[in-house]
Each structure stands twice: as structure tokens, then as C-alpha cells.
Amino acid sequence: MSERNASSTSFVETVAGLTAGVVSTLTLHPLDLIKTRLQIDRISRSRVGGSLRIIGDIYKTEGGLPALYRGLTPNIIGNSTSWSLYFLFYGNIKDFLAQSRSHSTELHHDDDGKKHSLGASQYFLASGTAGLLTSILTNPIWVIKTRMLSTGSRTPGAYPSFVAGASQILRTEGIPGFYRGLVPALFGVSHGAFQFMAYEKLKSYRSRSRNTFATTVTSTRRGENNVNNMELLLISSLSKVFAGCITYPYQVLRTRLQLQAYNADAPATATTTYRGVWDATRQIGVQEGIRGFYKGLGPNLLRVLPSTWVVFLVYENTKTALYRFEES
């Protein structure tokens, strides 16, 4: 790949990811708020209707409809930054792996018309590495977001804004405070790795099953999809459900560890304090059972599927539009 093409690809991947992150967050933020409240609930047992109860409580006690959008700023910053960085890293790592294997005798082409010889393990490696780098760079944003979503704006000590939250963490906890919950977040890198591995392979399989391989090689312009939007919806859904069912418990661990220092004034007892990831895992298992690791899974599935549809549809179509504009 020439230097110009590499630069162009990086720009397109970044803009497409940024756009996807902003659009998905604006449309689905309330579900993220509900999921966070359920994840930090250590008293109520998981049951049908828990999400409706949370919505009712927030609406009645925290200021009506605007309260459902508390923490929107760090969520937009976090999601737009994460997706833009993720797709930037992911696209470039895929290209690097493909180029390093260019001597292979069984090259095939991806949906962008580029030569690739990547199998499931290479997609897993590319997405896992991209997720690792993104998690390290964006964890401070997620700490602030989690703490804002876990409390109403009228709660004593609640962060009034993103900047105020960042300042308070720096003042009271120092730099390490921004990296609470990083260990389970890094475990969660496997979620993206599983998701993108499944997504790429399903998309590739669908392309081949429609006998479009030859067309893609000879006539498809760079960045143009050879699967339609309805197929993208199905493929992205299957890949997200597959990854979510395997990795959801890490999100509960991450959320509780991120929140713990925020509630440092509470009485420190064995049932309210986690000494680390493994202690949190043990306490949740003993006190709440296996269901404790899946609190908030219902609204999470309701949130992540539409979010996944929005992200991948916006990403794929934005990328295609940018490449077409570039070539026009």
C-alpha cells in the first residue's frame, strides 16, 4: 500500500468510526443508563420488569426525561473516540497482517477489493490488538461515564459535568483513579475480538455464497460493500450476540470496580468492598450466584443490538461514501 493510500485509508476508517460512535450514542444512551444502574444493583434479584422499574424511578426522582440523558457527554466522547480509534487500529493491523502474508498462494479479496489472506485467527488477533490499545487509551473516559450514569444529578457528591468529574478524580484519586476497572476492561477485549472475527467471517461467507467474488475483484470500487444493508443487520446481530453471550460478565465486574472508589465514604465491609477482580468475582458468585454476573443483560441486549446495527450500518456506508467521494 502506498503512503498516500495508507493515509487515506486511516482517515476514512477514523471518520467512519467516529460518525458511527456519535450516531449510536445519541440514539441509544438511555438504555446504557439503565444497564449501568442494573449492573451496580447488589440488592435486587434479576427479574423481568427491572428495567421498567429503573426508568420509573429515574423519571420520578431525578428530573424527568432529561435525567435519562445524564452522562451523555462522556458517553459521546467515549463512544466516538473508541470507535474511531478502534476502526483506525483494526484497519491498519488487518492491512499489516495481510501484507506480511502476501507470499501466500491462497490470497483472496475482502469487500474493499484489497488482497487479504486472513483467517479467523488473524481477524481475532487484529480486533483483539485494536481493542487492547483502545481500552488503555479510553478507560479514563469510561470511569467518568460510569460514575455519572450510576447517580442522579441531585445525588450528593454526584459529578455535575464531565470536566468536574475529571478534576475531582485527579484531585482525590490521582492518575490511578482514571484506570479503575482497566483489568476487567482488558478481559473485555475478547468481546470485540470474538465479535469482529465472527463478523468478518460471516460477511466473507455471505459474499462467497452469492457468487460475488469475481465481481468484487474485477469491478467493485474500494470501500464498496457487496452485501446489502439487511444482510449487514443480520450479520452484525449474529456476531454481537455470539460475543455478548460469552463475555458479558466482565462488564459487571468492570462497572462495580469503577464505581467502588466513588462510594468510598460508605462503610467498608466485606460485602461492600472489593479488593480486586478475583475478590469481586468471588463475592458476586457467593452472594448473588451466576445471575449476578448477568445483571443488566436484558437491557444490554436491547441496547447493543440496535447499537450494533447503527454502528455497522453507519460505518460501512460512511466508509463507502468517503471512498466514492475520494475517487470522484
Q: What is the pLDDT along the chain (328 residues), one digit of tens a residue?
A: 445 466 677 888 888 888 888 888 888 888 888 888 887 776 666 555 667 788 888 888 888 888 888 888 888 998 889 989 999 999 899 988 888 876 554 444 554 544 456 788 899 999 999 999 999 999 999 999 888 888 887 888 888 889 999 999 999 999 999 998 888 788 778 888 999 899 988 888 887 776 544 444 433 445 455 678 888 889 999 998 888 878 888 888 888 887 776 555 544 444 457 888 889 899 999 998 988 888 877 777 776 788 788 888 888 888 888 888 877 6
**Are the beta carbons of 134 and 86 closer than 8 angstroms?**
yes
- CATH number for 228: 1.50.40.10
Residue/partner pairs of 54-60 with CB below 8 Å, 24 or more apart: 55/30, 58/33, 58/152
Q: How many C-beta atoms surround the C-beta of residue 289 within 10 A?
A: 12
CA dihedral (21, 26, 31, 35) in degrees, to 10, reads 50
Check residue 270 and give its pLDDT.
41
The pLDDT tens digits of the residues spanning 86-116 come to 999 998 999 888 888 765 544 445 545 444 5
- Rounded CA gap, 92 and 218, in Å? 23
Please state whether 151 falls in left (phi above 0), alpha (psi between -120 and 50) or beta.
Answer: beta
| Helix or strand (DSSP H, E) at 62 | none
Give the range of the structural domain holding residue 160, as residue numbers without chain letter: 3-327
Check residue 135 and give its pLDDT.
92
Q: How many CA atoms lie within 13 A of 173 on its CB side?
A: 21
What is the identity of the amino acid at 144?
Answer: I
**For the chain, how many structural domains are there in total?**
1
Strand partners, 109: 115
- Rounded CA gap, 274 and 253, in Å? 10
- Rounded CA gap, 155 and 37, in Å? 14
Q: How many C-beta atoms surround the C-beta of residue 247 within 10 A?
A: 18
- Rounded CA gap, 321 and 56, in Å? 41
| Helix or strand (DSSP H, E) at 290 | none
- Rounded CA gap, 46 and 39, in Å? 10
- Rounded CA gap, 195 and 266, in Å? 38
Closest CA to 259 of 38, 98, 111, 44: 38
| C-alpha 58 chain-centroid distance | 24
Cα 67 to Cα 54, 57, 302: the distances in Å are: 12, 10, 20
Residue with cell 478524580: 169
| C-alpha 240 chain-centroid distance | 10
Check residue 166 and give its pLDDT.
93
Closest CA to 61 of 37, 44, 25: 37
Please give the backbone phi and psi of residue 41, each rounded to the nearest 5 degrees, phi first. -75, 110
Q: Are strands 115-116 and 108-109 parallel, antiparallel or unpaired?
A: antiparallel
What is the identity of the amino acid at 236?
Answer: S
Check residue 204 and give its pLDDT.
84
Check residue 272 and give its pLDDT.
55
Check residue 104 and give its pLDDT.
52
Percent residues over pLDDT 90 in the chain: 18
Check residue 168 and give its pLDDT.
93
